[in-house]
């Protein structure tokens, strides 16, 4: 109501000024926040304050702001500078509305950010829940397959034991074969050496026999008769 009353007074003054086009009733300064009113004959501060919708309790402030020390000594043509409370209240309300709008925008941004964070956290929770469900499903499948896996492990153990036994047997046989091969190689070497010694001995016997044969042949060969020349000698 305090805002409506000065506004109505201002509108009334504007209407009066529009009707009395000969001379403007007031002027606006400071971007419309201050009225510049020149006193007319018979005007006094109380009447001027009432004309512009200023409450009686603000008249002393009006006098002080205009440098008036004695209200009875104001003559015609004095320039009153009267605050436009309606415009100022409107400006204050606009500022308040702008502040509220800024706060609302800030709150909206914060809410949007929070909503995005909540959505991200929700997606992360859903992903974590999905991963947990997947792990649970795998665990359930493994639990169902565990008896078969145990059987497979037993079979694998048997096969592994058999394979180890076969490998050990193969290694043992291989070592036996290697030892037998070494033994055969040793025997063959010994036989070769023995055979070589026997051949050498046979060769010596053959040479001895040949020497004896040649000696016997020489002994058994007929002697030739001596010639006259040999006899004369």
Q: Answer whether residue 79 shows pLDDT above 50.
A: yes
Q: Answer whether residue 15 shows pLDDT above 50.
A: no
| Any domain includes 213 | no
Give pLDDT, residue 176: 85
Q: Residue 54's domain is classified under what CATH number?
A: 3.10.350
Mean per-residue pLDDT for 164-182? 85
Percent share of the chain, pLDDT over 90:
1
**Paired residues of 54 in beta bridges:** none
| Any domain includes 149 | no
Give pLDDT, residue 8: 53
| Any domain includes 165 | no
pLDDT in tens, 157-168: 888 888 888 888
Per the structure, the complete domain to which residue 75 belongs is given by: 4-83
Give pLDDT, residue 31: 77
pTM value > 0.85: no
The dihedral region occupied by 53, where left means phi > 0, alpha psi between -120 and 50, and beta the remainder, is left
What is the rounded distance in angstroms from the CA atom of residue 139 to the CA atom of residue 134?
Answer: 8
The dihedral region occupied by 31, where left means phi > 0, alpha psi between -120 and 50, and beta the remainder, is left
Tokens found for residue 232: 């004369």
| Any domain includes 194 | no
42-74 residues labelled b (16+ CB within 10 A) or e (exposed): ebebeebbebbbbeeeebeebbeeeebeeeeeb
Give pLDDT, residue 222: 67
How many domains in the chain?
A: 1
């Amino acid at each position: 109501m305090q805002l409506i009353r000065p506004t109505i007074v201002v509108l009334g003054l504007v209407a009066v000024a529009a009707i009395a086009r000969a001379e403007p009733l007031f002027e606006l300064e400071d971007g419309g926040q201050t009225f510049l009113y020149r006193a007319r004959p018979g005007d006094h501060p109380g009447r001027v304050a009432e004309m512009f919708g200023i409450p009686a309790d603000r008249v002393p402030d009006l006098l002080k702001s205009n440098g008036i020390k004695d209200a009875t000594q104001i003559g015609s043509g004095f320039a009153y500078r009267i605050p436009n409370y309606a415009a100022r209240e409107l400006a204050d309300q606009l500022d308040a509305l702008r502040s509220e709008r800024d706060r609302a925008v800030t709150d909206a941004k914060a809410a949007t950010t929070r909503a995005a964070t909540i959505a991200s956290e929700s997606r992360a929770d859903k992903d974590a829940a999905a991963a947990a469900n997947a792990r649970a499903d795998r665990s359930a499948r493994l639990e169902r397959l565990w008896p078969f896996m145990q059987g497979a492990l037993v079979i694998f153990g048997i096969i592994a034991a058999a394979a180890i036994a076969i490998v050990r047997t193969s290694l043992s046989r291989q070592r036996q074969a290697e030892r037998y091969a070494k033994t055969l190689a040793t025997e063959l070497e010994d036989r070769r050496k023995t055979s070589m010694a026997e051949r050498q001995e046979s060769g010596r016997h053959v040479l001895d026999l040949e020497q004896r044969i040649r000696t016997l042949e020489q002994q058994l060969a007929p002697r030739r008769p001596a010639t006259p020349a040999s006899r004369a000698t």
